[in-house]
Chains A and B, each alone.
Chain A
Amino acid sequence: MTFIDQLHSFLGDVAAQFGLPEMPLIVTKLVWWLVASVLLFTVALTIGGLFTWVFRRLFAFFGLRKGPNRVGPEGMLQFLADGIKLLTKEDLLPSKADKWTYRLAPYVVVVPFVLAWAPLPWSDVIIFSNLAYGVVFILAVSALPPLGELMAAWGSNNKYSMYGGIRAAALDFSYEIPLVISAASIVLLVGGLDTQGAVMAQQGYWFGFIPKWFVFPQIIGAFIFFVSLLAKTGIIPTDLGESESELISGLTTEYSGMRFGFFFVAMFSGIFFLSALTVTFFFGGWTGPGFLPPLVWFLLKTFGLVFLVFWIWVTLPRFRVDQFLNYAWKTLFPLSILNLVIAVALKVWGVY
């Protein structure tokens, strides 16, 4: 009996008590989907919001400052205050903007990042939707934001936005390829397309103490995946679409209020999501010694990676767009092919 059936019979019992007729199964499914997706959105957006606080505190720490520390405990509710501020700000529409494209773009950017959370395993039991083809779903959905970026760029009717959007889209397309190839080598080693399986495959130890993480045989793949992560989230060494000092925030130049907030949340949510994905694929996901629950292991690893991302963010200068695209096509792409060859060799020799 699946979870949905259990829920269906429970809801049927509740309905019978009130003398209501029995509902078809599809209603139960719809109710569950609604609840689950609201939960998913809430978790994703809250984490995105909370991460603005984490980021600002870390950023202040790196810059010898204090950061937000007034609203709530240690300023933790600062993101709520910011959210209220953004919600109550005027939603400006440039007079010559392409109205529908301009208004839709933030959602097209933010929704894929939220959807992609669904097949992500938080622990051995916590997973929103254990899809059999989870890896494909994640990669497909996380390839959507460039569309939103181009929409924002075109809709704003601003030359800087146009440059930013085209840069961001070019970057995302270029880094999609090494990302997918390095994910493909993981799929090859796992022998399946579901994310939970990828984590399961990394359980256990070599020689009793080295965890069987894919980062060890697939070190090149992990590096490629991490760099592509940076490129896709658009943070500072690679924030070519935004590039504050060149393009005046690029594609978000004309956005105000919550529409701007969506881009912001999408970025932070994306950082967390892609870090979590890297952890799932290369650092054993929620696996770990038994003295801590799996969820804590997963969060610890993810936060560690997020910390690294933020560290890079505040330390490094921005690449020039041609340098970074060259890096994708001339360095990372051949490396990812090499990585795939290594994965094939490992499979052929029977290591996995």
Chain B
Amino acid sequence: MGDLEEKSAAEKDVEEPGRAPGAIWTSTAKEKEDPKAKEWPFPAMHYMPAYTDDVDPLKEAFGNDIVSDGDLSGKPVVYIHPDRALDVLSHAKKTLGFEHLSFVSCCDYPKEGILEMHWQLYSYSTGRHLVVKAHLDRDGAKRVASVTPLWTGANWHEREAWDLFGVRFDGHPDLKRIFLPDGWRGHPLLKDYDETEQFIGMDERGEDVVYDTPGPGRW
């Protein structure tokens, strides 16, 4: 216990200017003094509008490529032009310090005719979130740059997005289906996917069927 309190006291002394208002550090020492910690609900539970500390520098750096910005329940969102995805994300990682890519995924909006790319970022050093979104033409080529050069872990997330949404990631080392068999037709999480379709994994000669795999396999 002694170690813990010493450490907490040390933590308290260090001011962290970059920390988001939504996220609070806790420490034992602080709790004992601060009557607010006994209140309910916590300050963290009041849903604040998204902080714009990271959106503004992105806007400065990329100008018109940042289409707009928004709010994802307290996390800042920037909408970017899909062609500049790698540049913006690279800037976000290397300059703004968003080291952690939680996931890459998509959402399909057939009425608007868009497929929305979604990169969920988090910064270990400042504790802030950033969501980067880009709109692809859902009936077009659905091409966007792969972020595997920045985050190795994006590999499987992008394969998942290809598998379930049919997004092609340029520069991906091994873009092939991850969950579904290689012979699957269609991309199931698209809203217009025909769910009655039956999967037949082999052809008349008993060979495995492979449809439309863009990337070279490792094997």
- A–B contact at 8 Å CB threshold (below): no
